[in-house]
Amino acid sequence: MNDKSQNSFDSNVGFICDLTVVKLGKKLRILGYDVEIVKSSNMATIENVVKTKNIKKLLITKSRELARKLSGILVLSNNVSEQIEEVLSKIQSTARGNPRCSECNAELIECSKEDIVGKVPTYIFESFERFKHCPKCGKIFWEGSHFKFRGVWNLANTKDFKLRRGESK
Ligand SMILES: [Zn+2]
């Protein structure tokens, strides 16, 4: 289980997460990993992605069959924090890049507090000091206690001030 030599894997190249670990994939993006999320649990579909997309991206799944067949990482826990520990215990390097958008995998860009005045709820603005935004979809992330950037606010929704579900939970 914890034999790191099993996958001589440089985590900079990233992961592919299937339907069984979508939430984990989104958290790994926020942690700075390049993650492709494939919303399927179909063997042929996932095999196709793993083999054609980027051979260096390692599959993460809760399916024993898929993990065995495609030499992926099998996660056992249903708890996302524990799943992250499982994955990190199986890769050689824990080096990672800049935080990425949980929704579209683009690298987040730091923005100043002045930039987001009126664009996030007041309590968020007052509670956090560091913010980043996604250049692709415009979501704003803020530094949280558990994950580095856990809040999500969509710029497109700033008028109705409706908090998006997902990372803010
Ligand atoms: Zn985005």
* 35/82 same-domain check: yes
130 has a pLDDT exceeding 90:
no
Q: Which residues contact 51 (CB under 8 A, 6 or more apart)?
A: none
Q: Residues 87-119: pLDDT tens digits?
A: 988 887 666 788 899 999 999 999 888 888 888
| Band (78; pLDDT cuts 50, 70, 90) | very high
* 80/141 same-domain check: no
* 54/119 same-domain check: no
* 11/85 same-domain check: yes
**Residue 120 belongs to some domain of the structure:** yes
Of 89, 117, 142, the residue at which a domain comes to its end is 89
Residue span of the structural domain in which 137 resides: 109-157
* 81/137 same-domain check: no
* 45/73 same-domain check: yes
User: What is the Å distance from ligand 1's center to 132 Cα?
Assistant: 11
153 has a pLDDT exceeding 70:
no
* 24/80 same-domain check: yes
User: What is the Å distance from ligand 1's center to 69 Cα?
Assistant: 32
User: What is the Å distance from ligand 1's center to 101 Cα?
Assistant: 5
* 9/38 same-domain check: yes
77 has a pLDDT exceeding 50:
yes
Query: Into how many domains does the chain fold?
Result: 2
Give the DSSP per-residue string, 124-165: HHHH-S-EEE-TTT-EEEEB-SSSSB---EEGGGTTTTPPPS
User: What is the Å distance from ligand 1's center to 140 Cα?
Assistant: 9
Q: What is the pTM of this model?
A: 0.77
Identify residue 100 by its one-letter amino acid code: R
**pLDDT for residue 67:** 95
User: What is the Å distance from ligand 1's center to 152 Cα?
Assistant: 10
**Residue 12 belongs to some domain of the structure:** yes
